[in-house]
Structure 1
Amino acid sequence: MSNTKYILGHFEDPDDMMHGIDKLQENNIGIYDVFTPMPIHGIESKLGYKRSRLPIAAFCFGLTGTITAFSLLYFCLVYDWPMNIGGKPAFAMPDFVPIMFELTVLFGSYGMCFTFFFKNHLFPGRAPRVMDLRATDDRFVIAIDAHKNPYPEKIDNLLKEAGAVEIKHNERKYVSYE
């Protein structure tokens, strides 16, 4: 069994990379991931990615902020220490709205920031998952799992036909515990 874990096809042009994706999919070769230095419109649908669940997470974080603000205000101003200020009732909902809005925005923004860090392995102590550092600068990289696609010569030929300027075989790193 080969030590090759991923086959990386490097492209200089996004159109060549999209053509390479088409060629690989025509030959039923599964693509692990694609790394680009800039967003490319329509690549998610071409690779078959599902719609992101981040809007649902943002809504949940915002709802948590709203409930937290309402609970804190209700407990402090109505239940624990009700005060009669100018004849207003203790439970005056319009007075709660600005603080509920602010905590909704605060929880939503911090929650999405932490979600972004967690999802992209950017927390301190976590190694980032970068196949090739040039993919963040000027190269478009198609990564193919070598274990799911047992014909590396065929994949190399397809990538060269599509316009790949370089093809790399990333090898598995074995760690010795002795």
Structure 2
Amino acid sequence: MSNVKYILGHFEDPDEMMHGIDKLQENNIGIYDVYTPMPIHGIEEKLGYKRSRLPIAAFCFGITGTLTAISMIYYMLVYDWPMNIGGKPSLAMPDFVPITFELTILFAAYGMMFTFFYANHLFPGRAPRVMDLRATNDRFVIAIDAKTNPYPDKIENLLKEAGAVEVMHNERKYVSYE
């Protein structure tokens, strides 16, 4: 049992999996992660995950885009090449709202995309990190760290009582597609 890293409980029904999470938490057993083939509402609160900071990152990227647009407009039209067109001021901001808006959206969208890829390890060319391949298809998997939870028989019994179809002892951290 010393080389086992994770205990995986496989469920066919999301309600049974949620019941399994409740049973494990009642017995003070730490859950490493839960893998599902579809989003399940309310699972983040049940597992104690904090709210995503992606909106904060989007705001920062948007402000960066706004400041970049205003800086470029100021540099190009006021500092570098001021032109007098019909007696209008060099920096007529209402004329440049569309440009500023577009750069704000562009920076926010690309910044959020790269932040999401970085946070979830979804870089192009990298193999996905999957605990069990069936979790991407038709199974709901609860992964429990075997090193921090020293009672594998108790965990296995709790998972089976909650409705687990299969309980596996995983020796590797992630399964590769090769």
Partner of 1:69: 69
- Is 1:120–1:128's contact at 8 Å kept on the other side of the alignment? no
- Is 1:121–1:127's contact at 8 Å kept on the other side of the alignment? no
1:105-159 per-residue CA deviation (whole Å, 9 max, x = no partner) reads 0001111111121122121343321101111111100000111101101000000
CA distance in structure 2 between the partners assigned to 1:4 and 1:80 by the alignment:
66
Instruction: Return 5+ residue gaps in structure 2 as ranges.
Output: 174-178
- Is 1:5–1:172's contact at 8 Å kept on the other side of the alignment? yes
CA distance in structure 1 between the partners assigned to 2:102 and 2:172 by the alignment:
49
Say which SS state the counterpart of residue 49 (structure 1) adopts.
coil
Instruction: Return 5+ residue gaps in structure 1 as ranges.
Output: 174-178
In percent, how many aligned pairs have the same letter? Answer: 84
1:50-89 per-residue CA deviation (whole Å, 9 max, x = no partner) reads 1110100000111110111110110000111011112110
Partner of 1:40: 40
What RMSD in Å do the two structures reach over aligned CA positions? 1.2
- Is 1:8–1:141's contact at 8 Å kept on the other side of the alignment? yes
Partner of 1:17: 17
Say which SS state the counterpart of residue 88 (structure 1) adopts.
coil
| Partner AA of 1:22 in structure 2 | D
Partner of 2:137: 137
Number of aligned residue pairs:
173
**When the two structures are superposed, what TM-score results if normalisation uses the length of structure 2?**
0.94
CA distance in structure 2 between the partners assigned to 1:97 and 1:48 by the alignment:
42
Say which SS state the counterpart of residue 168 (structure 2) adopts.
strand
CA distance in structure 2 between the partners assigned to 1:39 and 1:124 by the alignment:
23
1:93-115 per-residue CA deviation (whole Å, 9 max, x = no partner) reads 11121111000000011111111
CA distance in structure 1 between the partners assigned to 2:150 and 2:22 by the alignment:
19
- Map of 1:111-150 to 2, 5 A cutoff? 111-150=111-150
Partner of 1:86: 86
- Is 1:83–1:90's contact at 8 Å kept on the other side of the alignment? yes
- Is 1:6 aligned with 2:43? no
- Is 1:27 aligned with 2:27? yes
Deviation at 1:167, TM superposition (A): 0.8
CA distance in structure 1 between the partners assigned to 2:41 and 2:107 by the alignment:
30
CA distance in structure 2 between the partners assigned to 1:99 and 1:146 by the alignment:
55
